[in-house]
């Protein structure tokens, strides 16, 4: 199978690494186009894939074309590729804010999968939400699902709008967690812990709690109640979160992200 990557950024590299690791394609079946010579050289040396500057040359004969350019470069790329894709070719877009309709019109192509991955895909722990146009065959859907599973977990949805909703949850979600970790580390430092110790305390707490939640099979609200003794330390902390409208702030933040995703689309 020949696969073309249009754009060789970090998320493209995560997908590239995953499909090579799972044997979806050999290195000599992959062509990556990127404007930066240093990026092309890096990917060629590390993964043994073919690289080049021309997007049109990259897609020639490819069964799968992965669009991984920055959103601000999409219009130029679509202008270059419009009318150049063969009807059977499958286009997989991981470009934030680019709706199915925008991609279909801009490329004059109907076989499109739109994906919202997230940054943990770079360590094989990603969450990808995706949808496909009616023209995408069952075999192509299976191929797309296999690629996304290689990066972590995947969920297929039937409505393009759910990609924007997923953008506000799983797409932007890592940044929400990073902010919370950053704040908790700062709080630990304010209590006198060194920066290194504070980070270790918080990271292991987050990792352990996430694994416990995933493995327990219990809802998070139940686990929260289990570790909250009336009048205890956890109860005192949670009372401050409630006073600061923590749950409402999270909902407002997600709502703002969803609205922005719709505007970008």
Region of 152 on the Ramachandran plot (φ > 0 left; ψ -120 to 50 alpha; else beta): left
d(CA 187, CA 197): 12
Instruction: Provide the pLDDT for residue 96.
Output: 85
What six digits make up the tokens of 171? 């797409």
What six digits make up the tokens of 240? 């401050």
113, 180: one domain? no
Please choose, from the candidates 11, 5, 47, the residue with its C-alpha nearest in 3D space to the C-alpha of residue 151: 11
Decide if 129 contacts 153 (C-beta within 8 A).
Answer: no
| Bridge partner residues of 67 (DSSP) | 6, 93
Q: Tens-of-pLDDT digits for all 265 residues of the chain?
A: 899 999 999 889 999 998 898 888 899 999 999 999 999 999 999 999 999 999 999 999 999 999 999 988 999 999 999 999 999 999 999 998 899 999 999 999 999 999 999 999 988 999 999 999 999 999 999 999 999 999 999 999 998 899 999 999 999 999 999 999 999 999 999 999 999 999 999 999 999 999 999 999 999 999 999 999 999 999 999 999 999 999 999 999 999 999 998 888 7
- Assigned domain for 88 exists: yes
How many distinct structural domains can be found in the chain?
A: 2
Structural domain of residue 219, as residue ranges? Answer: 173-264
39, 118: one domain? yes
How many helices and strands (H and E) does the chain possess? Answer: 12, 8
Residue where one domain finishes, among candidates 127, 158, 189? 158
Considering only the C-alpha atoms of the chain, give the largest distance between any 2 of them, rounded to a whole number of Å: 67
Q: DSSP assignment of 51-108, as one string?
A: EES-HHHHHTT-SEEEE---GGGHHHHHHHHTTTS-TT-EEEE--TT--HHHHHHHHT
201, 127: one domain? no
Size of the chain in residues: 265
Q: DSSP assignment of 121-184, as one string?
A: GGGT-EEEEEEE-TTS-HHHHHHHHHHHHTTEEEEE-S-THHHHHHIIIIITHHHHHHHHHHHH
Decide if 42 contacts 25 (C-beta within 8 A).
Answer: no
151, 194: one domain? no
**Predicted TM-score of the model (pTM):** 0.90
d(CA 103, CA 240): 46
- Assigned domain for 18 exists: yes
182, 86: one domain? no
d(CA 42, CA 50): 11
8, 138: one domain? yes
Q: What is the pLDDT of residues 146-197, one digit of tens each?
A: 999 999 999 999 988 999 999 999 999 999 999 999 999 999 999 999 999 9
CA–CA distances in Å: residue 18 to residues 1, 22, 24, 118: 15, 6, 9, 14
Q: What is the pLDDT of residues 28-49, one digit of tens each?
A: 999 999 999 999 999 999 999 9
Residue where one domain finishes, among candidates 125, 158, 191? 158
Instruction: Provide the pLDDT for residue 1.
Output: 85
CATH value at residue 179? 1.10.3730.10
d(CA 20, CA 26): 6
């Amino acid at each position: 199978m020949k696969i073309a990557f249009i754009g060789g950024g970090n998320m493209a590299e995560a997908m590239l690494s995953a499909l090579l690791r799972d044997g979806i394609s050999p290195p000599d079946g992959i062509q990556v186009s990127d404007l930066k010579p240093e990026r092309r050289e890096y990917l060629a040396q590390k993964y043994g894939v073919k690289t080049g500057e021309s997007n049109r040359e990259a897609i020639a004969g490819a069964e799968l074309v992965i669009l991984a350019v920055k959103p601000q470069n999409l219009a130029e790329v679509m202008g270059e590729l419009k009318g150049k894709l063969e009807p059977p070719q499958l286009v997989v877009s991981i470009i934030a804010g680019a709706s199915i309709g925008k991609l279909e019109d801009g490329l004059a192509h109907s076989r499109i999968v739109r994906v919202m991955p997230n940054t943990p895909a770079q360590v094989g722990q990603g969450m990808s939400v995706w949808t496909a146009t009616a023209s995408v065959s069952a075999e192509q859907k299976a191929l797309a699902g296999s690629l996304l599973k290689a990066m972590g977990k995947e969920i297929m949805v039937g409505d393009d709008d759910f990609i924007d909703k997923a953008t506000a949850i799983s797409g932007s979600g890592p940044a929400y967690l990073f902010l919370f970790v950053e704040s908790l580390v700062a709080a630990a430092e304010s209590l006198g812990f060194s920066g290194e110790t504070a980070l270790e305390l918080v990271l292991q707490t987050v990792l352990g709690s996430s694994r416990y939640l995933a493995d327990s099979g219990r809802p998070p609200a139940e686990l929260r109640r289990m570790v909250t003794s009336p009048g205890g330390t956890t109860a005192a902390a949670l009372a401050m979160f409630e006073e600061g409208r923590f749950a409402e702030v999270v909902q407002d933040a997600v709502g703002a992200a969803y609205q922005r995703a719709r505007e970008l689309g």
